[in-house]
Amino acid sequence: MILVLAAGVALAAFGGTGNVFDPDVGFVDTNEDRPSATAPRARSNGHPADDGFRWPNYGYSKARTHHLPLRRAPRPPYRQAWAERGNVLLEFSPVLCGRRLYLLKNNGALYAISRNTGRVSWKRKLGALAAAAPACNRGTIYSVLLKRSRGTEAGRVIAVAARSGRTRWSRKLPSRAESSPLIDRGRLFLGTEDGTVYSLRASDGNVRWKARAAGAVKGALALDGGKLYFGDYGGKVHAIRRSDGSKVWEKSPSGGPLGLGDGNFYSSAAVAYGRVYIGSTNGDVYSFSSSDGKLAWRHGTGGYVYASPAVGEVRGGRPTVYIGSYDGRFYALDARTGKPRWIRSLGTKISGAATIIGELVFVSDLDKRTTWALGARTGKTVWKTRRGGFNPVISDGRRIYFTAYSSLFALDPKGRPFAGRTSVSGRRTARAQQAAARRAARARRAAARVRAARRARAQRTRRLRLRFAPHGHRHSARTGDGRGCHLHRHVYRLGDQAVVVRHDHCHAHTRGR
């Protein structure tokens, strides 16, 4: 992510126009598209990752709320189950479909990683630079690239097979792109830096329609109620129809105390409670009516807001927007009014989106490279690690998949291993796997012994052949002058008798050409 900042601007000036709230803008108390609150379970006699769970998009849902509601979340203390370590920046978390995670690194390499073991099933270098999360759907992984090759300031969208990484189709884009793609009803939606929003046919990449924005579309598009929502680098927030890209509404929110006009929108929008929530580079967080774009509230922070909001209602709490700012503070704002529920001063640059898992909200600070799990209702620290930077975690309800600055970790709650021991058949499966592993180890050791015995027999046969051949010889120790000695044996036939003549022969040995 490239940040262009105005020189000499004091951050204290952010939010100088004050916060606003319009109580007449409608608010829906419940989310119709709220996911199931029950954590998935693997079949007791099957693979531990065959639980039917999917985290297919950046932000989990198509509305990009970054919220996984659970009655029993995987809480700390955590035990590291596996790690996929590297030295390439990871700006975005992976997505999850079936038995695998799919991680797009910033160098344009896409990895397929086993949920259970962390083993890399395959990896593909798709381009030179990427700054987006992939999307997975029906056996296909969709990725968007900032640069398709070195020296080319243009991107690409590519679809590969989830099982093998083989390319299904690829489409060059006329400009760079870092908008995490969205799949819905056989269509792929994304934005590009030349201000174009695309609807592509997911099966072959053919363009179904294009829509124009007022500036670069860097954030991911959110979908709710048949409409796509996004902000652009022209300072506008848009709602367009999913079916044909036609405009529903377009707003240029007021604000901009730094003389930056309305600011730009790198933040991805989140849609919930009949509202659209989004952060701006002018330091403000906005809430609009999703139906007509009317401004519901604006809340100022002390720094640029590049982070995308996480929106949800945890058990025992109320609808809340969680978002970080470059002032180092993390805000929990009332989703209806924008009034702070609590604010935590964590670091200096909160750049990535937070994630709500059960009753915890996870957030990372870029400068400190530190990640926190905070109580969503209280803001109190429940867990902390000196790792992280951008978008911190996703979860399948049983395990936390934590994205550090350049490595991915699987974290299990203590006493709750991913494979589990929840049934007799599950224990039998685990024992059978262990027994199979022991049998394989015994077979490897037996094969090694057989190979060693064959080598020993071959060496003995060679020594005997050299010793008893008509002109065979064997070497003895070298003499003091560096020569090597061996015994010569000559056999002569005199009638029916064999006469054997033996003598020592010493000479200097040199390597032949």
Question: What is the distance between the alpha carbons of residues 361 and 291, in angstroms, rounded to a whole number?
Answer: 28
> Which residue bears the tokens 């199979």?
436
Higher pLDDT, 251 or 16: 251
Consecutive H or E run containing 160: strand 156-161
ω before 181 within 30° of 0 (cis)? Answer: no
Contact 401, 394 (CB under 8 A): yes
- Domain regions of the chain by residue span: 14-415, 423-468, 472-513
Question: What is the distance between the alpha carbons of residues 366 and 83, in angstroms, rounded to a whole number?
Answer: 21
Q: Does position 483 have pLDDT exceeding 80, yes or no?
A: no
pLDDT digits (tens, 9 = 90+) for 20-66: 999 999 999 875 445 455 566 766 667 888 888 999 999 999 999 99
Tell me, what DSSP letter sits at residue 137? E
Instruction: Compute the 3-state secondary structure of the chain and give helix, strand, coil in percent, each to the nearest 5.
Output: 10, 40, 50
Q: Which residues pair with 356 in a beta bridge?
A: 67, 361
Q: Which residues pair with 107 in a beta bridge?
A: none
- Looking at residue 442, what is its pLDDT? 87
Residue in 25, 86, 94 with CA at minimum distance from that of residue 58:
94
Please give the average per-residue pLDDT across 397-414, as a whole number.
Answer: 95
Tell me, what DSSP letter sits at residue 454? H
pLDDT digits (tens, 9 = 90+) for 99-129: 999 999 999 999 999 999 999 999 999 999 9
Residue in 134, 132, 113 with CA at minimum distance from that of residue 57:
134
Torsion sign (Cα): 35, 36, 38, 42: negative
Q: Which residues pair with 312 in a beta bridge?
A: 320
- Looking at residue 205, what is its pLDDT? 96
Q: Does position 253 have pLDDT exceeding 70, yes or no?
A: yes
Q: Does position 506 have pLDDT exceeding 80, yes or no?
A: no
Model confidence, pTM: 0.78
Q: Which residues pair with 395 in a beta bridge?
A: 400
Question: What is the distance between the alpha carbons of residues 173 and 195, in angstroms, rounded to a whole number?
Answer: 12
Please give the average per-residue pLDDT across 180-202, as a whole number.
Answer: 97
Contact 90, 130 (CB under 8 A): no
DSSP per-residue string spanning 6-42: -TT--GGGTTTT--EE-TTS---SS-TTPPPSSPP--
Consecutive H or E run containing 247: strand 247-251
Residue 378 Cα distances to 92, 113, 192, 318, 468, angstroms? 26, 35, 38, 12, 90
Higher pLDDT, 486 or 397: 397
Maximum mean pLDDT: which of 26-40, 375-389, 419-433: 375-389
Question: What is the distance between the alpha carbons of residues 396 and 51, in angstroms, rounded to a whole number?
Answer: 9
Residue in 470, 306, 454 with CA at minimum distance from that of residue 389:
306
Q: Phi, psi at residue 121, to the nearest 5°? A: -75, -40
Please give the average per-residue pLDDT across 116-145, as a whole number.
Answer: 96
Mean pLDDT of the chain: 86
- The four Cα atoms 402, 408, 413, 418 give a dihedral, to 10 degrees, of 130
Please give the average per-residue pLDDT across 167-188, as a whole number.
Answer: 97
Please give the average per-residue pLDDT across 285-300, as a whole number.
Answer: 96
Q: Assign residue 357 a region: left if phi > 0, alpha if psi is -120 to 50, beta otherwise?
A: beta
Q: Which residues pair with 441 in a beta bridge?
A: none
Provide the 10 A C-beta neighbour count for residue 384. 14
- Looking at residue 499, what is its pLDDT? 75
Question: What is the distance between the alpha carbons of residues 284 and 454, in angstroms, rounded to a whole number?
Answer: 76
Torsion sign (Cα): 323, 324, 327, 331: positive
User: Which amino acid does the sequence have at 126?
Assistant: L
Please give the average per-residue pLDDT across 306-326, as a whole number.
Answer: 95
CB-facing half-sphere around the CA of 34: CA atoms within 13 A: 17
- Looking at residue 258, what is its pLDDT? 41
Q: Using 50, 70 and 90 to split pLDDT, how confident is the model at 507?
A: low
Can you read off the two tokens belonging to residue 205?
Answer: 């990449």
Torsion sign (Cα): 407, 413, 417, 422: negative
- Looking at residue 424, what is its pLDDT? 39
Q: How many residues does the chain have?
A: 513
**% of the chain exceeding 70 in pLDDT:** 81
- Looking at residue 371, what is its pLDDT? 97
Q: Using 50, 70 and 90 to split pLDDT, how confident is the model at 309?
A: very high
pLDDT digits (tens, 9 = 90+) for 3-15: 433 333 333 333 4
The CATH code belonging to domain 14-415 is 2.130.10.10
DSSP per-residue string spanning 268-311: PPEEETTEEEEE-TTSEEEEEETTT--EEEEEE-SS---SPPEE
Q: Using 50, 70 and 90 to split pLDDT, how confident is the model at 461?
A: confident
Question: What is the distance between the alpha carbons of residues 327 and 303, in angstroms, rounded to a whole number?
Answer: 4
Contact 416, 395 (CB under 8 A): no
Maximum mean pLDDT: which of 31-45, 100-114, 255-269, 451-465: 100-114
Question: What is the distance between the alpha carbons of residues 329 and 350, in angstroms, rounded to a whole number?
Answer: 7
Q: Using 50, 70 and 90 to split pLDDT, how confident is the model at 343?
A: very high
- The C-alpha angle 378, 321, 338, rounded to 5 degrees, equals 100
Question: What is the distance between the alpha carbons of residues 398 and 421, in angstroms, rounded to a whole number?
Answer: 13
pLDDT digits (tens, 9 = 90+) for 213-223: 999 999 999 99
